[in-house]
Amino acid sequence: MSAKAQSPPYPSAARIADSDCYPQYTASLKCLEEFHSDKSKCQEHFDVYKECKKKEVLKFTKSQKCFTIISR
């Protein structure tokens, strides 16, 4: 299997469309479009997306620890 065909080693390297946080990501982008890139108007969307990503990374980290323990 080539390196390109392998899964990324952590969620942030995965395709954003495959993320559980994709709806929050697209909501942030839509907000930016609606307010003509005025980031101050979209802070709530950014915060929701940021919290989602934290949970996603934590979930991934916990699953990797379980895998590591089992595979020893």
pTM exceeds 0.85, yes or no: no
Report which residue type is found at 40: S
Return the number of other C-beta atoms located less than 10 Å from residue 47's C-beta: 12
- Model confidence over 52-67: pLDDT tens digits? 999 988 887 777 765 5
pLDDT in tens, 12-47: 556 788 889 999 999 999 999 999 999 999 999 999
Q: Quickly list DSSP for 9-43.
A: SSGGGS-GGGSTTHHHHHHHHHHHHHTTT-GGGGH
* Of residues 57, 44, 43, 52, the one with CA closest to residue 23: 52
